[in-house]
Amino acid sequence: MNVKFKVLSAGVLFFMGQNIMAQSVKKDTAASTKTIEEVVVVGFGQKKTVKELTGSVGTMTAKAIEDNPVSASVDKMLQGRVAGVQTGVSNGQPGGFASVRVRGISSINGVKDPIYVIDGVRVKSGDLSSNSTTGNILASLNPNDIENISVLKDAVSTAMYGADAGSGVIIITTKSGKKGKAKFSLNFTQGITSDAVKRQRGLTADEYKKLLTYSVMNRYQGANDPGFVGKSYQEVYDFLKAGGSDVKGDLKKTDIANVLNSPYNTNWKDATQKNEAYQTNVDFSLSGGNDKLSYFSSINYFDQQSTVKGANFKRLAASTRVGYQATEKLKITTDIQMSYGKTNTLSEGGATANPILAQYFNRPTDALRNADGSWNLGQSGRLTNGKFNVAALQDLNYSRNETARVFANLQAEYKIIKGLTYKFVFAPEFINILENAYYSPLHGDGYAYQGRKTDISSRYFSFNVQNMLTYNFKAGVNNFNFTALQEAYRTQKDMVIARGSTVGSPFLETMDNFIQPLGVGGRKVIDSRWGYGLIGHWDYDRIIMVDGSYRRDVLSNFTPGKKAGNFWSAGVALDVARFGFLKNDPAISMLKLRASYGKVGNQVRANPYALYTYIGNYNALAAGDLRGVYNPNLSWETINPFNVGVDFGFLNNRITFTAEYYNKKSKDLIYELPLQVSQGMTSYNANIGDMVNKGFEFSVNAEILKNPHGLNWSVNANLSTLSNKITKLYGGDVVNPTIDGITMSGMILRQGESINSYYMRKWAGVDPRNGDPLWYLNGKDGETTNNYNLAKEEIQGNALSKVTGGFGTNLSYKNISLDAFFTYGFGGKILDKWMGNVVSDGASVYDTPGYASQMDFWTPENPNAANPMPIYSLGNKRGYGLSTRRMFKADYIRLSNLKIAYTFKGDVLEKTGLTSLQIYLLGNNIWTYKFDKNLKLDPEINLAGNYDLGLPIQKAFMLGVNFGF
């Protein structure tokens, strides 16, 4: 068989972007070329080819998913893969939750993440835990079961989901059996992980002693204390080491002498973290079928460890999907997914039990263990500086999360007459989460309670019922498709929580052994909705396409008169390439113009936040406590997305290019406004303003070299821009706003600015003359001041990246293949939330050593230092205060995925009896380039812009083998 070796001119590849639409798959033979167009799933069973789409839909293929088995959940796989989609994680907790944003942020306190739909049914998503941040229910889904992912981004694609579609919709289609004999597949990967980015290190004992001594010297020489005036650093060091008996003021002389005389040099990072961890993934599947029956079953084991000791995630998942053609007209499909996941996590943020914080908060001069090898537990449950021996707590305490999930999806499809089909869907989902936290009486948080325990049981039961009637017909070259749908969805959460203290023995960890009850509580939350709608499509020979939809939803969350919402969309497309003068042109296979507009909703929370709510008890009697304020004027948040785009296809879609502009307006944003305490509550929910997200998206996919028996090379990339702005804000600026229940210090809500705008003083560096901290007086540039109170607060950028995307290449030659994919982001900023504590210019040096970067401090011999002159206890003129000193540019490029594979063929398969065999090397997050040399944090840490001392994001190197038989 002769196959032509085709090379595309590099001249047309001036911009390479990833094709986010479904593309044609070509099968070339010597005799003929046959084109098979893949379909894109757009929701409620609607499937369209790329040439029929009027909306904006991004896709992620099974191959891209297979190249990323390092991720425990699907939400972490999307970064850079689809134009307009950003992901971020608050920490690197294995199995943890990742935030996903589709075309920006659509709400202040509403739902910002898209909804997830698996095989046509909406499922629970997000962090469902109550006592930690590790309840990511999407981690219960085996990524190896996924066939493809569609991201619905505009109105004509999402409006059919009505009240929940404001932040986008992610459609997950799982694998199903294909006609043919049974096929077995075994995929095994194992490897090591380490921190993706090297963080700030903590101080050594010698560095800490030096910083402490200089801080004390600067403090008391400045106060003309006779014990310090005229003395050199070494003289002050010797003086303090000897006890400094004649020093006055608040100097803790004895304790400082103990620090300077300490023989220890404890590395708290090594004590609480490992250089490397491991990860294992095992996946076994069976598939096959015949004319009547198709089946796909799988079982998966996943084990991911963190480099932080004691943090890990394990999952056991199984699924089966069976399709049965009962009669010529009736087809039944069943899909059952079951999983059990167990997560061990640790304290985070400012908690003194946080293992990340330990290397900065714990003194290196404190011993890790006693002389007999036992843990150094200090006095009264704390070390000499009042902090905890976190390494000991990793051994003594635990925080566990166990999640069991069962999801069933029953679908029946009946062909009534030619073109008319009825479809019924019933899909229940059950989730049970058990959270257990134990605090030992020997040390740490549990010491004052003589041991403490928290047990939480949360149970979710949801069901989705759909009835759909679809009619397809043709009239000449006119194609019509209409669907009438009715959907009911109900979810119920039941939670019970118990807390106890005073345990009889440190080794008796069940609640029965805790003598003193600290409280027992529980709650039930029910969320129900009912909706119906119409979806219509018409095209004229796929030259002109028109789509439209209407949906009405009724939700239980709102007050009478405000429970219902109406949502709609309209889209139109024109494929110029199908006109007569271009129809047979081999160079142009697609030239489609499209536009869409509509209205979708954003259901804010699962609780009835518009109503009065009562909860609690008093003195062992039934009682009520006002927890919510009724607002009869509270209305829906609605979003009006506008989208216009153009899709090009060249050389039978060997090259595809897409360009889009979007403008997504959010109206009636809900926020908590303050009340006077005398009114019985401190705040109430109200509609306070509007917001817009707009930008451009570009994507390209190109097959440069194509030879089934030789060299193949393709490239892909995508680029997205984002501009977020609050267009209306009733009541004026909101400084340090509360967003998603968290006070965002250093941020502001202001009309005309981004939702995630930083608002603080601008750092101007260190005065080389005297070591004072400096800020810009007007908050921008020009004149400086060393008076923190005189410096003006101004907006200093925002956390949202202005440009994001990804690019990759696929290269193969005979049996060898290489796949690489990079992600990037530009224009955003990160705020180191705890830098004021760990770079304190001497203010906290006595009990908080901090970052090693503090050692570049001002002295007469080092006038161009990065940090002001440290002053014990006082700090230097509030140099540690909130300012852009804590802020860094988050611009980066990251090699997110790398796969090198060797696929065996021919004799090897014949001799082994295998149908396929591949060995491969995988890399994940293996290289990160940060454009800000001072940034010691992971640039992908989260989307809110605040670094909160979370577990580190991991990079991984994995070896794998895939057997087919």
Tens of pLDDT, residue by residue over 99-145, are 899 999 999 988 889 999 999 999 988 888 887 656 788 888 999 99
- Residue 646 CA to residue 659 CA, distance in Å, equals 5
Task: Please report the pLDDT score of residue 11 as a whole number.
Answer: 35
Task: Please report the pLDDT score of residue 731 as a whole number.
Answer: 86
Q: Bigger pLDDT: 727 or 25?
A: 727
Question: 25 pLDDT exceeds 70?
Answer: no
Question: 610 pLDDT exceeds 60?
Answer: no
Task: Please report the pLDDT score of residue 527 as a whole number.
Answer: 86
The mean pLDDT value for 687-713 works out to: 94
DSSP, res 62: H
Task: Please report the pLDDT score of residue 615 as a whole number.
Answer: 58
Reported as a pLDDT band with limits 50, 70 and 90, residue 771 is: very high
- Residue 217 CA to residue 220 CA, distance in Å, equals 5
HEC profile of 289-345: ECCCEEEEEEEEEEEEECCECCCEEEEEEEEEEEEEECCCCEEEEEEEEEEEEEEEE
Task: Please report the pLDDT score of residue 616 as a whole number.
Answer: 61
Tens of pLDDT, residue by residue over 33-74, are 445 566 788 888 788 888 889 999 999 887 788 777 667 788
The mean pLDDT value for 537-552 works out to: 95
Q: Is 855 helix (H, G, I), strand (E, B) or coil?
A: helix
For all residues of the chain together, what is the average pLDDT?
A: 89
Element (H, E) at 355: helix 355-361
HEC profile of 181-226: EEEEEEEEEEEEEEECCCCCCECCHHHHHHHHHHHHHHHHHHCCCC
Reported as a pLDDT band with limits 50, 70 and 90, residue 890 is: very high
- Residue 592 CA to residue 656 CA, distance in Å, equals 11
Please, are residues 809 and 765 in contact by the beta-carbon 8 Å criterion? no
Closest CA to 703 of 24, 21, 2, 218: 24
Task: Please report the pLDDT score of residue 783 as a whole number.
Answer: 97
The mean pLDDT value for 834-842 works out to: 93
Cross-strand partners of 430: 406, 461
> Tokens 């999307």 appear where?
78
Closest CA to 217 of 240, 199, 195, 200: 240
Q: Which two tokens stand for residue 769?
A: 């003359």
Task: Please report the pLDDT score of residue 696 as a whole number.
Answer: 98
The count of residues in the chain is 965
- Residue 468 CA to residue 600 CA, distance in Å, equals 21
Question: 1 pLDDT exceeds 60?
Answer: no
Q: Give the distance, in angstroms, between the CA of residue 183 and the centroid of all CA atoms in the same chain.
A: 35
Please, are residues 469 and 457 in contact by the beta-carbon 8 Å criterion? no
Task: Please report the pLDDT score of residue 579 as a whole number.
Answer: 82
Task: Please report the pLDDT score of residue 2 as a whole number.
Answer: 40
The mean pLDDT value for 322-328 works out to: 96
Question: 677 pLDDT exceeds 80?
Answer: no
Tens of pLDDT, residue by residue over 229-248, are 889 999 999 999 988 765 55
Task: Please report the pLDDT score of residue 16 as a whole number.
Answer: 32
Task: Please report the pLDDT score of residue 713 as a whole number.
Answer: 96
Q: Which two tokens stand for residue 127?
A: 């962090």
The mean pLDDT value for 421-436 works out to: 96
Tens of pLDDT, residue by residue over 148-203, are 999 999 999 999 999 889 999 999 999 999 989 999 999 999 999 999 999 999 99
Task: Please report the pLDDT score of residue 126 as a whole number.
Answer: 81
Q: Bigger pLDDT: 303 or 125?
A: 303
Tens of pLDDT, residue by residue over 908-943, are 888 888 999 999 999 999 999 999 999 999 998 777
Which residues lie below 8 Å from residue 791, measured CB to CB, with a gap of 6+?
761, 762, 775, 776, 777, 779, 785, 883
pTM of the model: 0.90
Q: Bigger pLDDT: 627 or 467?
A: 467
Task: Give the percent of the chain with pLDDT over 90.
Answer: 68
Closest CA to 139 of 71, 88, 194, 190: 71
Question: 951 pLDDT exceeds 90?
Answer: no
> Nearest 5°: phi and psi at 79?
-55, 120
Q: Which two tokens stand for residue 88?
A: 């971020």
- Tell me which of 485-489, 609-613, 763-767, 847-851 is least confident: 609-613
Question: 599 pLDDT exceeds 70?
Answer: yes
Task: Please report the pLDDT score of residue 627 as a whole number.
Answer: 64
The conformational region for residue 72 under phi > 0 = left, psi -120 to 50 = alpha, else beta, is alpha
Task: Please report the pLDDT score of residue 632 as a whole number.
Answer: 78
- Please provide the CATH number assigned to the domain covering 39-191+273-353+388-618+640-722: 2.40.170
DSSP, res 109: S
Question: 547 pLDDT exceeds 70?
Answer: yes
- Residue 134 CA to residue 73 CA, distance in Å, equals 12
226: amino acid identity, one letter: P
- Tell me which of 86-100, 398-412, 682-696, 727-741 is least confident: 86-100
Please, are residues 429 and 407 in contact by the beta-carbon 8 Å criterion? yes
Task: Give the percent of the chain with pLDDT over 70.
Answer: 92
Tens of pLDDT, residue by residue over 505-536, are 888 888 999 999 998 888 888 889 899 999 99
- Residue 82 CA to residue 104 CA, distance in Å, equals 13
Q: Is 816 exposed, middle or buried (0-12, 13-18, 19+ CB in 10 A)?
A: exposed
Q: Give the distance, in angstroms, between the CA of residue 200 and the centroid of all CA atoms in the same chain.
A: 23
The mean pLDDT value for 4-15 works out to: 34
The mean pLDDT value for 279-301 works out to: 96
Task: Please report the pLDDT score of residue 37 as a whole number.
Answer: 63
Task: Please report the pLDDT score of residue 38 as a whole number.
Answer: 62
Task: Please report the pLDDT score of residue 67 as a whole number.
Answer: 74
Task: Please report the pLDDT score of residue 614 as a whole number.
Answer: 54
